[in-house]
Structure 1
């Protein structure tokens, strides 16, 4: 069967088309567009008109590719930006009318489940692990071992939300950093309790910001787009995160392997990741390039 999956993220829309047979997934086409659906007013739960229009136009183009490759089934899933927006239903209706795509708005639990399925397909889970997927609107955490999912939760602490609420200085000030950390401490009490209970010793970052971290650290050794997973050395990650957090916007703009979409959000991602590493006392970090969209594809193969 040929299937298409669209992941309508808060920052980026992804399209992936694959042939699926007997638990084997062969990707034949993929693309992504930095739609920035959460631009400007995500914390007010509104998709602004410019972002609304970009989203619809992008999905019209995606539909052309889906038709070109003759996909027999299409699944489009929307996450935090659409599910929290007061005009989210209007967006879903506009896409159905103008792009002939039916969007499923999934809750945070389902999002975490798909992320787990995607990461599991890489084979990287070894022992008790904490999977972390930093989105623009939400961040998902999943604790699992080699055999099963143990605990999962989605929090409205995505990079775009935190950036719009707290990132008001350049470089980011101690005051702004403290405000973020205080917010995380208040939001993540049950995650901390879960880490104490299950004792994960491996942090697996699902795509997104972790692809950026890995790309900046491992660029001479691997091509991120050609791998399923990679190890990230704890000490070199710490050095990179300190550099990113201390840098100005202009300095980050000139850093190689840092895409425009993440020039500012990578600071938030580094602060968030550092907080999780400190809270969990984890010293082993890996990247999984498989995330929600791959989890949806592999659900076809089950």
Structure 2
């Protein structure tokens, strides 16, 4: 890469674009990513449903017309990545090319397009998918279940590593033939293959669900339970609920399923078969819960290349920084803001602190949005955007914080379905503190480093260096009084010469006298 191009990406504090071309049994897809190394952001995503593996059960070959459709798409992808100057490209092929008698011939045709296809073994495919789950859910411990067109990959994960792995011939394109023999014969065939992965039941924890058909199941469940969020990533189901839904879906009409947002025509036709597979799968593995992931093989390939230190980076904070920094809200300013308001934080220690820091940076970006757009952004950013390693409670608390940063103490009703009133009040308090910090002196580093906010038993104390005394007037005083009233405390402003690195014990005792 030339010096000029390298400098371009360094200035943007992100990696150069990289692409993953995934030649699967159902679809042939190209995804181009930008963003940070830890949290790649999709900037281009397209696929064709070539269904290369549709005849594997009958003929053992990739159909000629499917191969031609896939190669046409791949030729297009090769041109696009070349025209965009994407130099980091991984092209991988999975079950269809691996199992088909004419797979080598097909891959040779792919190579002739200038791509460099790598045929993944079943274990490599399983491991790549599992790495995607590890990247999306730090600390994941349990079993990853990646359902593709040609195979079902199962991998046990713990301590940020993959352990046992297996690839079973239970992909969505193979299931219809198995089901034709009847429900009892189908379950017997599935259980026979599952006996080879007895190790899975020995790994307590969730089952991480990867693949478009599983996400379609999540979309159905979210509709069924009237869930207030729209992104299936991170959505969870208890095993009993999953069994109940699977029982209903086994005989579902695909035409009706297509009416549900998030379920495409292709997935609607695969979903009843996947539901039939899920029932014995749940019995065999016995997970604590099901966790649905939008990260899988492609993201796993990128995550696996990171240095250990990069892997350990907090994906939420990395993602928020990548999103907010171009909107002139830096992590440095957010850290200073979070430190200035630390006296307002209450409970859950490190769990809430990362949420508070993320909320601080997003609140900075929100202030740079046109006022008439802020309310919609305050809802869409925390609740609608796909953040990594952020649960529903965290989304609701950040949303409450953004509302507080606008001086509002009312929140959307749906937040109460995601978090407790205490959690929402906590988030709101953070936001009101962020608002005060910005009202005080425009949120400047000078104003925050020459002032301090402390919450005491009976009072809320704002200390200002005498050089900043002029800041202690309207509208800053109004915001300070509103925050104190919200906390049911008495507002006190003290102006003088202070050591803002910390108060001594005598100063602490004086505050409530």
1:101 matched to which residue of 2?
115
Which of 192, 195, 199 is equivalent to 1:189?
Answer: 195
Does the Cα contact within 8 Å between 2:239 and 2:282 map onto a contact in 1?
A: no
Task: Quote the offset at 1:259 in angstroms.
Answer: 1.5
RMSD over aligned Cα atoms: 2.2
1:166 matched to which residue of 2?
178
What is the aligned length?
Answer: 289
1:171 matched to which residue of 2?
none
Which of 199, 202, 206 is equivalent to 1:202?
Answer: 206
Does the Cα contact within 8 Å between 1:133 and 1:140 map onto a contact in 2?
A: yes
Task: Quote the offset at 1:289 in angstroms.
Answer: 0.7
1:123 matched to which residue of 2?
137
1:137 matched to which residue of 2?
150
Distance 2:98 2:204 in 1: 30
Q: Which secondary structure state, in structure 1, belongs to the residue aligned with residue 207 of structure 2?
A: strand
Does the Cα contact within 8 Å between 2:216 and 2:268 map onto a contact in 1?
A: no
Per-residue CA distance 1:96-123 (angstroms, 9 max, x = gap)? 22x3212111101111111111111112
* Alpha carbons of structure 1 residues 122 and 109: separation in structure 2 relative to 1, 3 Å: same
1:270 matched to which residue of 2?
275
Task: Quote the offset at 1:282 in angstroms.
Answer: 2.2
Gaps in structure 2 of 5+ consecutive residues: 1-15, 308-513
Per-residue CA distance 1:223-267 (angstroms, 9 max, x = gap)? 33xx74222344443332122112245554555543211233212
Does the Cα contact within 8 Å between 1:4 and 1:75 map onto a contact in 2?
A: yes
Which of 109, 134, 147 is equivalent to 2:160?
Answer: 147
1:76 matched to which residue of 2?
91
Q: Which secondary structure state, in structure 2, belongs to the residue aligned with residue 100 of structure 1?
A: coil
Which of 110, 116, 128 is equivalent to 1:114?
Answer: 128
For residues 4-83 of structure 1, the aligned pairs below 5 Å read 4-19=19-34, 23-83=38-98
* Alpha carbons of structure 1 residues 90 and 81: separation in structure 2 relative to 1, 3 Å: same
Distance 2:274 2:196 in 1: 20
Q: Which secondary structure state, in structure 2, belongs to the residue aligned with residue 282 of structure 1?
A: coil
Distance 2:85 2:120 in 1: 25
Task: Quote the offset at 1:201 in angstroms.
Answer: 2.8
Per-residue CA distance 1:179-217 (angstroms, 9 max, x = gap)? 22111122221312x034x33231110132221011122
Task: Quote the offset at 1:43 in angstroms.
Answer: 4.4
Q: For CA contacts below 8 A with separation 6 or more, give which structure has more relative contact order.
A: 1
1:259 matched to which residue of 2?
264
Does the Cα contact within 8 Å between 2:144 and 2:207 map onto a contact in 1?
A: yes
* Alpha carbons of structure 1 residues 293 and 159: separation in structure 2 relative to 1, 3 Å: same
* Alpha carbons of structure 1 residues 203 and 37: separation in structure 2 relative to 1, 3 Å: same
Distance 1:240 1:34 in 2: 27
Which of 218, 225, 228 is equivalent to 2:222?
Answer: 218
2:438 matched to which residue of 1?
none
* Alpha carbons of structure 1 residues 143 and 244: separation in structure 2 relative to 1, 3 Å: same
1:172 matched to which residue of 2?
none
> Which structure is higher in strand share?
1
* Alpha carbons of structure 1 residues 146 and 288: separation in structure 2 relative to 1, 3 Å: farther
Distance 2:193 2:37 in 1: 41
* Alpha carbons of structure 1 residues 299 and 19: separation in structure 2 relative to 1, 3 Å: farther
Task: Quote the offset at 1:284 in angstroms.
Answer: 0.7
* Alpha carbons of structure 1 residues 24 and 236: separation in structure 2 relative to 1, 3 Å: closer
Does the Cα contact within 8 Å between 2:97 and 2:119 map onto a contact in 1?
A: yes
Distance 2:205 2:195 in 1: 18
* Alpha carbons of structure 1 residues 41 and 281: separation in structure 2 relative to 1, 3 Å: closer
Does the Cα contact within 8 Å between 1:24 and 1:301 map onto a contact in 2?
A: no
Distance 1:293 1:207 in 2: 11
Q: Which secondary structure state, in structure 1, belongs to the residue aligned with residue 236 of structure 2?
A: strand
2:355 matched to which residue of 1?
none
- Largest Rg, 1 or 2: 2
Does the Cα contact within 8 Å between 2:157 and 2:163 map onto a contact in 1?
A: yes
Q: Which secondary structure state, in structure 2, belongs to the residue aligned with residue 300 of structure 1?
A: coil
Task: Quote the offset at 1:157 in angstroms.
Answer: 1.7
Structure-1-length-normalised TM-score: 0.87
Task: Quote the offset at 1:88 in angstroms.
Answer: 0.8
Q: Which stretch of the first structure deviates more once superposed, 275-284 or 213-222?
A: 213-222
Task: Quote the offset at 1:281 in angstroms.
Answer: 2.3
